[in-house]
A and B are shown apart, each in its own frame.
Chain A
Amino acid sequence: MSGTTPGYSGAVDVWPRVAVMLWVYLHFPHLLLDHIRRDRVSPQAMVIVEGTGQRVVQACPDARDQGIQSGMRLKTAISLVPDLAIVRAEADREARILEDQARWLYRYVAHIALVPPNGLLAEISSLQKLYGGLPAVWQTIDQALNEHQLTAWVATGHSPLAARLLARAGKGEYTADKGHILRALEQLPLTDAEFDDKTCTHLQRLGLNTLGEVVALPAPELARRLSPETLAHIQKIQGSRPDPQTPWQPPHSFRQQADFIQEIEHSQGLLFPLQRMLSELEEDLCWRQQDTDTLFLVLQHRHEEDTRLRLRTAGPEHRSEAFLELIRLRLEQQPLRAPVISLVLSVRRFLSREAPVAQDLLGETQDLNEAWHTLISRLQARLGEQALTRLSPQADHRPERAWSAAAVHQGMKLSQANPAHLPRRPLWLLRGPQPLLEQPVAWFSGPERISGGWWDGQRVMRDYYIAQLESGQLAWVYRDVQDGWFVHGWFG
């Protein structure tokens, strides 16, 4: 590829040849709008206003159709569209949203740099082999942008700055043809070249109007007459001066936030944005090859403290439907305290995905395991975690302490005492001993003396008998040291 430009002599020498690297720049012209709009069920005209709330910064297509333009005063906009939805721009929120975009892009591209407030830079020449050609890379990126319902102006360039300038000017296209890119750059007006204001005015006074005209000037003269910084800027556009980019690394946790313009009063309304967030979580988990068993959900209210929900599944899980089902159950059980203005879903605990167990001939093993987790999670979500328990014997002579109940968790193996060593006991143990109110009709075995607990102050000293009552029940009765008679269990 050479930068031969017919009709523009000298261009070949002006643009030096450097190692071929190709950058793609994604410019999101209205990122905040896209972010909010995709969680809304019904479209409504919406604008973003600057921090002071005086002027419209961005307007969605609906708003533009009704005559609102960016730069317009907010008062004018409201008089045009009375039920206008207004969102205040906040720098940290935008930074967060930008990072969300980097997160999904990272699945396709290794080298990403964030360009706040609304740009992402990615190096794609190294991906050529992986995807089998650049068109495949572009297609992948386009598809991902579509899936995420984002508007982006995309440009490729041989230097980060070139890609950025073209994208921001809206002149970009997918091409690896250096000549093509150079022609586009040369035609870029000076105002789009991101010189500082003073330099820009200075150059315009010299009668230069496009970037191509500036580039054509001899470099030493440029540095002497203008400033070394101006030359450096130009060289960065050309790619002849290194322009290192700080690579972005994805964090080790998952976080998604949905912001609502209109407060959501019913938990039903939360399910729609949650569905999208959870499917992104599923994608993220698939991509990490990991599962999770804990989700954190923070519901922010305008005047009250946030509601924090912690959802646990019974086992490692990654399917969004399963998560959604659990959240739905939980929200049904727990009505919203106050209207919700934003929703944050985060996952910090990742579990490595277990290698699939070798399936049996009918392929049922895996399914059952998964079905077990699904069932237990569902039940726990509705009834509460403490409602489900597993029992286990404990090493204690006192009958009421010889068992314990623990909440059901994944992979919990109970310590099994050797069943052969356990004494004969009734299958029902009463929650508390009941006084024996009648004379048993028959006595069978006994007494079995159980005495213990002197070590923890819960001392028992009892003689146990097996007796049959008038009603036919076989009871486990005891006489304690105070001569009282009690029923402690039934032989069910």
Chain B
Amino acid sequence: MSELLNTLMQDARVWQGHRHRQTTQSSESTGYQVLDNQLGGIGWPKGALSECLLNVHGIGELHLVLPLMQRLTQAGKTVFWLNPPQTPYAPALAREGVDLDHVVMIHADDANDFLWTLENCLRSPVTGLVLAWPGKLATRDVRRLQLAAEAGSNVCVLFREQRYAGQNSPAALRLELTPDEHQALSINVLKRRGSWPGQRCTLAMAHRADLTCQEPPRVIQGPWTSGRG
């Protein structure tokens, strides 16, 4: 019995308010030192769900997972994209150094197929990373996915809308993503294993469009004034 308790403590599965314990669970670095520091020096948890909560696309959410994607595809692990909301643009991915041989897009029509597919991907040893846009998910479904994730050892990132931030979720890591000044991405840690949540950090994401200058951008006097109001 005590052995069981020890395991629970060491894996940081039981939250202990007075003590910050590093989890012994395996994880993948996010590729952003600032964020890794905020997450207790680890990064994306393996064998567990991570959630990114955001309202709009194009704020740097893909660049957040890009370093991991590069690393995994080059190591020969498969990255699955499940029901992406728009088309992931192949030339851009190739340019970023993602090996497209190991990237598979999956389109699942109904919610049952979606969950089934995600579960299968999570349980497979070939999967390195699953990016999924689930739309609506019942808490029961998230729990089911969490169990599947525990069976495998890969990173799973669910992209959900920000309004789910208030709901509780069995995911091991929950990040709230909002756009910040200078095209940066502001990250609010809503939940993480083994420690207090509430850390915030801002990642510079201006490089995603090759915008190197940090000063207020020069306004190009475009022709839009004549075209539209």
Contacts and interface: CB of A to CB of B under 8 A. Distances in A.
Interface of A: 367-368, 371-372, 374-376, 378-379, 382-383, 387-394, 399, 402-405, 408, 413-414, 416-417, 419-420, 422-431, 436, 439, 442-447, 465-466, 468, 471-475, 479, 483-485, 489-492
Given A383-B113, A443-B217, A466-B211, A375 B121 contact: yes
A443 B55 CA distance: 22
A489 B93 CA distance: 14
B209 A444 contact: yes
Nearest to A487: B58
Interface residues of B, number: 58
18 contacts: A376-B104, A382-B116, A383-B106, A383-B113, A390-B100, A390-B104, A391-B90, A408-B104, A422-B94, A424-B210, A425-B92, A425-B95, A426-B89, A426-B92, A428-B85, A443-B220, A471-B179, A492-B62
Given A382-B116, A446-B220, A429 B227 contact: no
B103 A466 contact: no
Contacts of A423: 91, 95
B88 interface: yes
Contacts of A429: 86-89
B124 to A, nearest CB: 4
B101 interface: yes
A372 B220 contact: no
Contact of B220 (A375, A382, A405, A465): A465
Contacts of A379: 106, 117, 120-121
Nearest to B97: A419
A232 B173 CA distance: 89
A87 B223 CA distance: 84
A416 B88 CA distance: 16
A427 B64 CA distance: 12
B59 A474 contact: yes
B101 A403 contact: no
A390 B101 contact: yes
Interface of B: 55-63, 66, 78, 85-97, 100-101, 103-109, 113, 116-117, 120-121, 124-127, 178-180, 183, 208-211, 217, 219-220, 222-224, 227-228
B209 A428 contact: no
Contacts of A389: 104-105, 107
B90 A445 contact: no
A60 B58 CA distance: 72
Contacts of B106: 379, 383, 387-388
Contacts of B103: 390-391
Contact of B89 (A378, A425, A436, A465): A425
B220 A483 contact: no
B75 to A, nearest CB: 11
A358 to B, nearest CB: 16
A428 B88 contact: yes
B211 A403 contact: no
Contact of A485 (B58, B109, B183, B228): B228
Question: Lowest 6 A-B CB distances belong to which pairs?
Answer: A472-B179, A490-B58, A492-B62, A473-B58, A403-B90, A391-B90
A443 B217 CA distance: 7
A380 to B, nearest CB: 10
Contacts of B96: 419, 427
A458 to B, nearest CB: 17
A479 B223 contact: yes
A405 B57 contact: no
Given A424-B209, A426-B92, 5 more contacts: A379-B106, A423-B95, A426-B89, A443-B217, A473-B179
Contacts of B104: 376, 388-390, 408
B121 to A, nearest CB: 7
B91 A383 contact: no
Nearest to A374: B124
A430 B91 contact: no
B95 A372 contact: no
A490 B57 contact: yes
B32 to A, nearest CB: 16
A424 B206 CA distance: 13
Contact of A490 (B86, B124, B178): B86
Contacts of B62: 427-428, 492
A382 B87 contact: no
B100 A416 contact: yes
B59 A473 contact: yes
Contact of A492 (B61, B95, B220): B61
Report which residue of B56, B90, B211 has the largest number of chain A beta carbons within 10 angstroms of its beta carbon.
Answer: B90
B126 A428 contact: no
Given A390-B105, A391-B100, A422 B220 contact: no
Contact of A372 (B61, B78, B107): B78
